[in-house]
Amino acid sequence: MKSLAYLDHAATTPARPEVIAAITEELATGGNASSLHTVGRAARKVVEESREAVAHALGCGPSEVVFTSGGTESDNLAVKGTWWQRRGGDPKRNRLLIGATEHHAVLDAVEHLVHHEGAIVDWIDVDRSGRSDPSQVRELIERDPDSVALVSLMWANNEVGAIQPVADVASVAHEHGIPMHTDAVQAIGQVPVDFTASGADLLTASAHKFGGPQGVGVLVARRDASLVPLTHGGGQERQLRSGTLNTPGIRGMAVAATLAMQELPQEQEKLAALRDKLIRGALDLGLDIEVTGAHEVGDVTARLAGNAHLRVPGCDGDSLLYLLDAAGIECSTGSACQAGVPQPSHVLLAMGISEDDARGALRLTLGHTSTDADVAAFLAALPAAVDRARRARSASRGGR
C-alpha cells in the first residue's frame, strides 16, 4: 500500500533536494581528498569548505569537526576514546557517569567497557518527564571526583523527545576537570545547538537526522580533547578517524546542516504546531491514550518540536505498528536501532513507566516534509488499529 503518512523522522528524515543535487554533483567529480593532484586537491577543498559550514551550523571551530560514518561511530569514539585516554593516564579513573536513557550507541559502548575493561557505571536518573537533575550528577561526581573518566548525557532523547540540561551538567563536570559528551543526534534541526555555548567537550551528530545522507556524521571534539582512536591507518581527521573521507556525503551533510540552521525558527514553529495537533487529536479520540513525558502546547524547551510519544493501554506496540503500516501510516515504537527486539523500552522503564504500559508505546516523529495531511491520516487510521490491536491482545491472553 502506498504510504499516506511518514511519521518516523527520528529514524531517518528524507534527504533534501538540495542535498541530493550536491551529492550527485560530487559523485560525478570524484577524487580522494588525501591525494595531492588536481582532482584530489579539489576534493580536499570541498571537504574543508564543508567543515567550515558544519562548524558554523553547530557553533564550533572548523578544527573541532571530526568527520565519521555517523552517530554510532561518533558515540563510540567519544566514549571509548575518552575512557582509554583517561584510564591510561590514571588507572584510578574507572568510573563513567551515563544517562539512563541514552541511545544504545552509547549504552552498548559502555557495556563493552564494563565487561571487557573493568569500567564502573553510575547511572544518571531521569524523572517522569525524562529529564535529569544536574544536582544528581554533582552528587555522583563528588563521591570520588578523581575516579570519573567521563560524563555522557544526550541533548535530546530519541524516543520521548525530552531535552536535557546539557549546559548545566557540563558546568558541574568541569568544576572537577571531567570531560562531558553529549549525543545531539536528535537535537540538530529541531532546537538550537551551539557546541561552544553548551560547554560540552564532545558532541555527536548524524547527517540523516536533519535531511542529509545516511552514513556520514561528525564528532565535534574540543581542540584540547584527548582521545584514543578506534581505527588506525592514514591518520585523517586529527589522527582520530583514519579512512578515506566520504567527500560526497560530507558535502551533502554540510548543505543539510546549513539549511537546518537557517530554517530552524520556522521549522520549530511548524513542527510544534503539528505535534500539538497530533497529540490533541489522539487524546480526543476517547481511546484512553496517554502522552509520555512533559507536554505543553507550543513548548519547544522541554520536548522536541517534532516528537509525540503516546501510550495506548491494552495494546502491544508492535501490533499497532504493523496495523498502522498496513493502513499506510509509517511510525515506530521506539529506536529504529532496536526494532524487532521484544522487550519494553529502557527509556520508558527509566522514567518509571510500568512494563505493561511501556509495551503499548508509539513514537510519532515529524520533520521537514511533514504536513497537516500526515497528522490527519494518522488520526483517521488510529481508532481501527487500536481496536484490532486490543482484540488481538485479549485473544492472546485467553480473553482475560
23, 15, 54: which is closest to 208 by C-alpha?
15
Residue/partner pairs of 382-385 with CB below 8 Å, 24 or more apart: 382/282, 382/285, 382/287, 382/324, 383/285, 383/287, 384/323, 384/327, 385/320, 385/323, 385/324, 385/327
One domain for residues 209 and 315: no
Longest CA span, the chain: 73
One domain for residues 277 and 200: no
One domain for residues 231 and 332: no
One domain for residues 248 and 282: no
Confidence (pTM): 0.95
One domain for residues 196 and 123: yes
315 is catalytic: no
> What is the domain range of residue 305?
5-14+264-396
One domain for residues 126 and 187: yes
One domain for residues 177 and 318: no
One domain for residues 238 and 319: no
| CA angle, 364 then 365 then 370, to 5° | 115
Domain end point (choices 235, 258, 281)? 258
Q: What is the pLDDT along the chain (400 residues), one digit of tens a residue?
A: 567 899 999 999 999 999 999 999 999 998 999 999 999 999 999 999 999 999 999 999 999 999 999 999 999 999 999 999 999 989 999 999 999 999 999 999 999 999 999 999 999 999 999 999 999 999 999 999 999 999 999 999 999 999 999 999 999 999 999 999 999 999 999 999 999 999 999 999 999 999 999 999 999 999 999 999 999 999 999 999 999 999 999 999 999 999 999 999 999 999 999 999 999 999 999 999 999 999 999 999 999 999 999 999 999 999 999 999 999 999 999 755 555 556 789 999 999 999 999 999 999 999 999 999 999 999 999 999 999 999 988 777 765 4
Partners of 217 in the β-ladder: 68, 206
